[in-house]
Amino acid sequence: MHEPVLLIVLTALAAFLVGLSKGGLPAVATLGVPVLALVMSPVAAAALLLPIYIVTDWVGLWLYRRDYSARNLRILVPSGLLGVLVGWAVASRVSDAFVGLLVGAVGLGYCLNAWARHRSLAEARPADLPRGIFWGTLAGFTSFVSHSGAPPFQMYVLPQKLEKLAFAGTATILFAIINAAKLVPYWQLGSFRAIDPALPLTALPVGILGTWVGAKLTRIMPDRLFFGFVQAALFLVSLKLVWDFF
Interatomic CA distance for residues 59 and 29, integer angstroms? 15
End-to-end CA distance of the chain: 28
Residue 21: closest CA among 163, 181, 229: 229
Residue 32: closest CA among 44, 20, 19, 18: 18
Range of the domain at 57: 3-245
Interatomic CA distance for residues 215 and 204, integer angstroms? 17
| Count of domains observed in the chain | 1
Q: Is 138 exposed, middle or buried (0-12, 13-18, 19+ CB in 10 A)?
A: buried
pLDDT at position 2: 45
15-67 pLDDT per residue, tens: 998 998 888 877 677 778 777 877 777 778 888 999 999 999 998 899 889 99
pLDDT at position 125: 84
pLDDT at position 1: 44
Q: Is 213 exposed, middle or buried (0-12, 13-18, 19+ CB in 10 A)?
A: middle
156-214 pLDDT per residue, tens: 998 898 998 999 999 999 999 999 999 999 999 888 887 888 888 889 999 999 999 98
Residue 134 has pLDDT above 90, yes or no: yes
Amino acid at 141: F
CB 245, CB 97: distance < 8 Å: yes
104-122 pLDDT per residue, tens: 787 787 778 767 766 555 6
pLDDT at position 46: 84
Say which residue, 227 or 129, is predicted with more confidence.
129
